[in-house]
Structure 1
Amino acid sequence: MKPAAASASFSGPFALGSFAAPDQAPFPGLVTPGEHVLDLRAALGDPALTTRGIFERWDELLPRLHELAADETADRRPLEGLRVLAPVEPRQVFQSGANYRQHVIDLEVAHRAPDDPRTLEEARAEIAAVMDRRAAEDLPYVFLGLPSAITGPYDDVVLPDWAEQPDWELELAVVISRPAHRVDVDEALEHVAGYTIANDLTDRATVFRRDMKAIGTDWLRSKNAPGFTPLGPWIVPAASIADPGDLRVTLKLNGETMQDESTEDMLFGIARLVSYISRTSRLLPGDLVLTGSPAGNGMHWGRLLRDGDVMEGSITGLGAQRTRCVRETS
């Protein structure tokens, strides 16, 4: 159930989410700042409607959503007592890695070999030069995640018994509206419906293959366990976020701030990421683009996730999520 500490805090007149009352099927809801939810199946006359279905009809439905948000006579129910689910079920999840300058520098330093002859300053300077070259050549680093890893914003996160170094990575997530294939950078934001919060958990111990290092990274193993992507609590329409390139990304672990950085530290902004992905793939309504995580993960602090840890993640204008870690028992 929605914890008492949660509230409908976000920018703009409304947000979208997915909810469930006890012993009832999930439904797409329009959330208003007064902490009430309108069941959009009934309001829009479509009993089979999902949040993804809303994004498939985004241009058509957006004006109607604004009308419903302003209608004080609409039949809303209190947010209290509803279970807040992940706000959308995407078909595809695209994840940007190594997209925050300071974060990449921190990871490079944390993963230095014991016999690395470089000084700390030399290592930082070399990876900074690599990132500058990537940015100049317009080469983001993007890989795929699994929708089955997504869980709700207040659900417990199960740490698998094989995960030796589970880590947090709070990120700004982009939700796609119109299909996008081979779109230019200056057109890319026209395909964005809104934004939400994602925590892209990663087991650092399995990022690189142990059996054959030449194979490279193993994102299936390290990032896609069930529940490794807490998402939400809601999706805020793009028009309600003045500048997604200037949002504060903050993660607290057991009340202590670990990540606290602006999205302006991204090497590749949202338009460049969406355009880049669309050069190869066809983005579909409801798909997610995770934009990378800023500095301050567990490897930086030398403190990984443990049983009982509580993560609280927030991004300016998008609300906050709160999840508790539970170690899997065999």
Structure 2
Amino acid sequence: MTTSSGLTAPFALARFASDTGPVPGLVVGDRIRPLSSSELGAPSLNDFLAQGDAAWDRLAVLATTADGSTDASWVPLGSVTLLAPVEPRQVLQTGANYRTHVIDLVVAGRAKQDPRPIEELREWAADLMDRRAREGIPYFFIGLPACVVGADEILELPAYSDQHDWELELAVVIGAPAFRVAREDALEHVAGYTIVNDVTTRDLVFRQDMKDIGTDWYRAKNAPGFLPTGPFLVPARHVADPGTLHLTLTVNGETMQDAETSDLLFGIPALIAAASETMPLLPGDLLLTGSPAGNGVVHGRMLRDGDVMVGTIEGLGSQVVRTAAARVPA
């Protein structure tokens, strides 16, 4: 259960559990208050996100009562169970989008018969990534919204593999619908940002029965709970430059990922423009921007029963995810 927000923004959105179901909440520091549909000014969270700046202006006014002096509905953040702060209808994931990450994967996957020294292989991969950034296009695949859960939910590691890996990612939350938008207009369609751990089963990424088929993202990334999200949705207006954010992920206190979004091959405007070229992006949809270097496949260490992952993104707070081995049916 979250006890400290770690937020630097004046306020953020969250969702938490109640006896009547999920409730949207306004977070300021280490306090939260429920939001009614009349306070949201919309019948749903996604409808709220579609309204743009006017909607955030209303919440900014409510946030000024967080000290509790005039509004008794504020409660300690640690007294509630946080859920995912979004309800996406679509989840788009971006592959191979951090320069250093891809270079590390190329080296880690080096064929035994490859005669090149490691440094030569790294230089070759770096040149390839630089050319891709100049001339290529982003690589997208889709995830299941059903996998989006709150960080307070235990991540159960499926027993069919022991190769479950972490992938800390900055996620874009869509506000105004985006369809075939230009890069220069793309950020106008961003409602805010959140944290996602895009958990991946490494030995299922590539098909073994027919290698020419290629990747199998459905089996590798869509087990229950494989998209811990949140705990907060921070308004875009309070993230000065999403292209220079610092990200870290620790496992049991050991730093595994430590990077900045400046290492992205394709920045957020390029991702939104490219993704919206094919299909409209809807209010509340998640667009994951990719994972930086430092995944378990590079460290030679995958997730195990009882691990505690802490993913932190500058300005967005921290996400704590606890793992457990799969339960054996009675």
- Normalising by the residue count of structure 2, what TM-score does the alignment of the two structures yield? 0.94
Residue 65 (structure 1) aligns with: 59
Deviations 1:166-185 (A, max 9, x none): 10000001100000011110
Q: Determine if the alignment matches structure 1 residue 32 to structure 2 residue 31.
A: no
Aligned mate of 2:188, from 167, 172, 190: 190
Residue 141 (structure 1) aligns with: 139
Tell me which amino acid in the other structure corresponds to 1:9: G
Residue 10 (structure 1) aligns with: 7
Question: What is the CA distance between 1:309 and its match in structure 2?
Answer: 1.0
Deviations 1:180-218 (A, max 9, x none): 011110100000011110000111100000000000000
Question: What is the CA distance between 1:37 and its match in structure 2?
Answer: 1.4
Question: What is the CA distance between 1:70 and its match in structure 2?
Answer: 1.8
Report the 3-state secondary structure (helix = DSSP H, G, I; strand = E; otherwise coil) of the residue aligned with 1:44: helix
Structure 2: gaps (5+ residues): none
| Deviates further, 249-258 or 73-82 | 73-82
Deviations 1:255-298 (A, max 9, x none): 11111111111111111111111111110000011000111110
Tell me which amino acid in the other structure corresponds to 2:31: H
Structure 2 counterparts to residues 93-242 of structure 1, below 5 A: 93-242=91-240
Report the 3-state secondary structure (helix = DSSP H, G, I; strand = E; otherwise coil) of the residue aligned with 1:274: helix
Distance in structure 2 (CA, Å) of the matches to 1:100 and 1:84: 29
Distance in structure 2 (CA, Å) of the matches to 1:111 and 1:148: 31
| Deviates further, 215-224 or 76-85 | 76-85
Structure 1 runs of 4+ off > 3 angstroms?
none
Distance in structure 2 (CA, Å) of the matches to 1:101 and 1:180: 27
Question: What is the CA distance between 1:14 and its match in structure 2?
Answer: 0.5
Paired residues of 1:160 and 1:328 also in contact (CA < 8 A):
yes
| Deviates further, 134-143 or 310-319 | 134-143
Question: What is the CA distance between 1:117 and its match in structure 2?
Answer: 2.2
Question: What is the CA distance between 1:128 and its match in structure 2?
Answer: 1.5
Distance in structure 2 (CA, Å) of the matches to 1:111 and 1:302: 12
Distance in structure 1 (CA, Å) of the matches to 2:263 and 2:316: 18
Aligned mate of 1:321, from 290, 294, 319: 319
Question: What is the CA distance between 1:36 and its match in structure 2?
Answer: 1.8
Paired residues of 2:40 and 2:55 also in contact (CA < 8 A):
no
Distance in structure 2 (CA, Å) of the matches to 1:39 and 1:109: 49
Question: What is the CA distance between 1:122 and its match in structure 2?
Answer: 2.3
Q: Determine if the alignment matches structure 1 residue 276 to structure 2 residue 281.
A: no
Distance in structure 2 (CA, Å) of the matches to 1:44 and 1:83: 21
Superposition RMSD in Å: 1.6
Distance in structure 2 (CA, Å) of the matches to 1:45 and 1:275: 29
Distance 1:91-1:117 versus aligned 2 partners, 3 A rule = same
Q: Determine if the alignment matches structure 1 residue 44 to structure 2 residue 42.
A: no
Question: What is the CA distance between 1:43 and its match in structure 2?
Answer: 5.6
Distance in structure 1 (CA, Å) of the matches to 2:103 and 2:144: 27
Paired residues of 1:150 and 1:229 also in contact (CA < 8 A):
yes
Percent identity of equivalent pairs: 54
Structure 1: gaps (5+ residues): none
Tell me which amino acid in the other structure corresponds to 1:137: E
Structure 2 counterparts to residues 244-263 of structure 1, below 5 A: 244-263=242-261
Paired residues of 1:253 and 1:309 also in contact (CA < 8 A):
yes
Distance in structure 1 (CA, Å) of the matches to 2:128 and 2:276: 24
- Normalising by the residue count of structure 1, what TM-score does the alignment of the two structures yield? 0.94
Tell me which amino acid in the other structure corresponds to 1:125: E
> How many pairs were matched up?
324
Distance in structure 2 (CA, Å) of the matches to 1:49 and 1:17: 16
Report the 3-state secondary structure (helix = DSSP H, G, I; strand = E; otherwise coil) of the residue aligned with 2:88: coil
Paired residues of 1:28 and 1:50 also in contact (CA < 8 A):
no
